[in-house]
Amino acid sequence: MSQDLKSAALAYHAEPEPGKIAISITKSCQTQDDLRLAYTPGVAQPVRAIAEDASNAYRYTAKGNLVAVITDGTAVLGLGNVGALAGKPVMEGKAVLFKKFADIDVFDIEVEAKSPEAFIDTVTAIAPTFGGINLEDIAAPHCFEVERILSERLDIPVFHDDQHGTAIIIAAALINAMELQGKAMERCKIVCLGAGAAGLASMKLLISLGAKRENIRLVDRGGVIHHGRDDLNVYKQPYAVHTDERRLADAMNGADVFVGVSGANLVSAAMVESMAENPIVFALSNPDPEIDPALALSVSPNLVMATGRSDYPNQVNNVLGFPFLFRGALDVRASAINEPMLLAAVHALAALAREPVPQEVLRAYNLEHLEFGRDYIIPKPLDPRLIDRVPPAVAYAAVQSGVARLPYPDSYPRLDNMELATA
């Protein structure tokens, strides 16, 4: 990071007041009567109503539009285990995105936990406050058990964005990249470099979309995950395949798709050159991708390339997913975020990228023209149509899959249109 960027980032977070979020009052508090209603004695009435029926909390409090963005600080961005408090700027940043893109309120919560079990117990204890839980920056492999156990214990959506948020955007972009490259999910050889939260969740979602497990090569620090290895945890074992391939270079030979969720400059030009015809390369490490796009394109000019950066085409950015996923889930008071809801978000994002791009998006990105193609396989984060497309698809999937406690909202598009959009 340059000194100028470091100084600007610190100043942004410190001035004119510390942090990026604040709490606002939503009701009038100007008169004695206002205070009488806001607090004692008037507040006793909603208290009694909630004590009689817990669902009244959604009517009389902010619970239904309030999400906890919560971390233990064990895997903050690319900085590692910096601790819960050091993760607070990231959690505040996530709160900004929830509010900006989906008008969802957030309390950011940083938990000093001695163990995953202690973290789970803490989240369980505070969960009544919220309409949903967004887990963030929790190290693998503990993150998988944390999410699973909390999802089982709680009756509100629990979502680990580092897993499923990344997976949604990768899957949506890959659907479109495969169409452009004339490839079919069920026939593609897919190499995934990185077997942490994002890599494992992404491969699981791609399998749900038709990818064959035997065609996936998951690669970690020990090389290709194959049946001969005895160092695999329970999360990696399902991806062990019978193969003679051992190194990343071996796996890349003849591959149709590369997905990198690992680290900078781990893929060589020779590896890209060895891929199948019309390859797809998603080099998503930030700030520096697994291979520089210019280098990849120099050896394979017809590839479709995506990165995690905003200064290259096809940015795989989680902000395309989590705010709108939660918006749809909260609007039907879903008890969980399940696979049908994830897939609905995938298909809604993929479909939106194929539509004509409105002028306001072009203006936001200072572009004269943008259309579905090699440099545009996924919507832009500032596309105002996202809020109209993704939440309805997610809400509809929640209703259809039985996890919604409210009907499909009247304010959303008609159901027959949604059936076509998510088919």
Q: Where in the chain is the domain with CATH 3.40.50.10380?
A: 3-26+62-156
**Token reading at 343:** 């897939």
Catalytic residue among 6, 20, 27, 39: 39
SS3 content of the chain, % helix, strand, coil (to 5): 45, 10, 40
- Cα 178 from Cα 42, distance rounded (Å): 59
Q: Is the CB of residue 72 less than 8 Å from the CB of residue 35?
A: no
Q: Where in the chain is the domain with CATH 3.40.50.720?
A: 181-307, 318-422
pLDDT of the residue at 78: 77
DSSP-assigned letters across all residues of 210-228: T--GGGEEEEETTEE-BTT
Catalytic residue among 94, 189, 204, 236: 94
pLDDT of the residue at 422: 47
Clarify whether 39 is annotated catalytic.
Answer: yes
Dihedral angle computed from the Cα positions of residues 188, 380, 404 and 126, in that order, rounded to the nearest 10 degrees? 110
pLDDT of the residue at 1: 57
- Cα 130 from Cα 141, distance rounded (Å): 26
- Cα 237 from Cα 111, distance rounded (Å): 30
- Cα 422 from Cα 339, distance rounded (Å): 13
CATH class of the domain comprising 3-26+62-156: alpha beta
Superfamily of domain 181-307: NAD(P)-binding Rossmann-like Domain (3.40.50.720)
Tens digits of pLDDT across the chain (423 residues): 577 889 999 999 999 999 999 999 999 999 999 999 999 999 999 999 999 999 999 999 999 999 999 999 999 987 889 999 999 999 999 999 999 999 999 999 999 999 999 999 999 999 999 999 999 999 999 999 999 999 999 999 999 999 999 999 999 999 999 999 999 999 999 999 999 999 999 999 999 999 999 999 999 999 999 999 999 999 999 999 999 999 999 999 999 999 999 999 999 999 999 999 999 999 999 889 999 999 999 999 999 999 999 999 999 999 999 999 999 999 999 999 999 999 999 999 999 999 999 999 999 999 999 999 999 999 999 999 999 999 999 999 999 999 999 999 999 988 665 554 444
The residue count of the chain comes to 423
- Cα 111 from Cα 104, distance rounded (Å): 22
Clarify whether 94 is annotated catalytic.
Answer: yes
Q: Is the CB of residue 192 less than 8 Å from the CB of residue 226?
A: no
pLDDT of the residue at 420: 45
Q: How many CB atoms lie within 10 A of CB 267?
A: 25
User: If we measure between CA atoms, which residue out of 139, 102, 167 comes closest to residue 318?
Assistant: 167
CATH class of the domain comprising 318-422: alpha beta
Q: Is the CB of residue 241 less than 8 Å from the CB of residue 261?
A: no
Q: Which residues pair with 304 in a beta bridge?
A: 280
